[in-house]
Amino acid sequence: MYGKNLMLIMISMWVLLFIVLPVSAMLLFSFWSIDNFQIVHSFSIQNYSKIFQDPIYLSLLWKTIKLALIVAVLSALISYPLALFVNHRRGTLKTILFLGVLAPLWVGYLVRIYSWRSILGESGFINSLLVLTGILKQPSSSLLFNSSAVVITMLCIAIPFTFIPIYSAIEKIPGNLLQAAADLGAGGSRAFWTVVFPLSMPGVVTGFMFAFITSFGDYMTPSLVGGTSGIMYGNMIQTQFGNSYNWPLGAALSMIMLLFILLVIAAARKIGNVQAIFEE
């Protein structure tokens, strides 16, 4: 009982220090304004009205949402068969495959982005291969510095985050349910669509959400491999806290992003609400 209380205190402290306090500070800032590099501590909604009046903010928000959705969908589509495949292997091979999928997580964030740049670049791996095999006469510049490069680079980090929840959801499905399905007349693919897939949905939703959120907030990838149009909502926020020194506007932009992410999480919980399924 004592241990339980202590745990509760620790969790509350954590939530307070790292979630409640910073978010409250951010919320407070978002209603302030800036004048001649001094923050004006008086309540106003001017930051929010600016965001909703100037089309640049909303159009970037929409662009970012679309990109994050594409990344999340692709990530789920790639991770799912991967998770099924790894799940069906046994022993050492399984461990190796599992660690292999997670390998991108071992590499630093910037290193990963630069690696993709050198893979996709004009003198990069893919171009060299295409020229060497004679598929291309000269290196193509269309692999890098566009939205596909951003999507590919973001997928590299999103896939492990999508893979893990899907994998564990599939792994958690009791073997006797599959036996029951086969026993009652479902062949391999019928059993998959009627049992495995619906029961792995919570994992898919969680993984989708992870991929969506990580790519939603990523501003380094677009600015390093996205080319001249590599600006996302996150870059907007970053410039407000940086060069433009408009923390209140940056805070307001962040609050809108936070609100949006919370909406996504709420929606995802609704779709993937199969939590209590495996009570023992």
Residue ranges binding another protein (CB under 8 A): 5, 8-9, 12-13, 16-17, 21, 36-38, 56, 59-60, 63, 114, 117-118, 121-124, 141, 144-145, 174, 176-177, 179-187, 190-191, 194-195, 198-199, 220, 223-224, 226-231, 235-236, 239-246, 274, 276-279
Residue 37, classed as helix, strand or coil, is coil
Measured CA to CA, the distance from residue 234 to residue 253 in angstroms comes to 9
Please identify, using beta-carbon distances, which residue of 99 and 172 lies nearer to another protein.
172
CA distances from 241 to 52, 99, 194, 235 (A): 19, 37, 50, 10
Work out how close the CB of 66 gets to another protein at its nearest, in angstroms, rounded to a whole number.
13
The length of the chain, given as a count of residues: 280
- Give the CA radius of gyration of the chain: 23
Work out how close the CB of 149 gets to another protein at its nearest, in angstroms, rounded to a whole number.
10
Work out how close the CB of 278 gets to another protein at its nearest, in angstroms, rounded to a whole number.
7
Give the closest residue to 191 by CA, choosing from 164, 206, 170. Answer: 170
Would the CA dihedral through 202, 208, 214, 217 be positive or negative? negative
Measured CA to CA, the distance from residue 232 to residue 32 in angstroms comes to 24
Work out how close the CB of 31 gets to another protein at its nearest, in angstroms, rounded to a whole number.
18
Work out how close the CB of 183 gets to another protein at its nearest, in angstroms, rounded to a whole number.
5
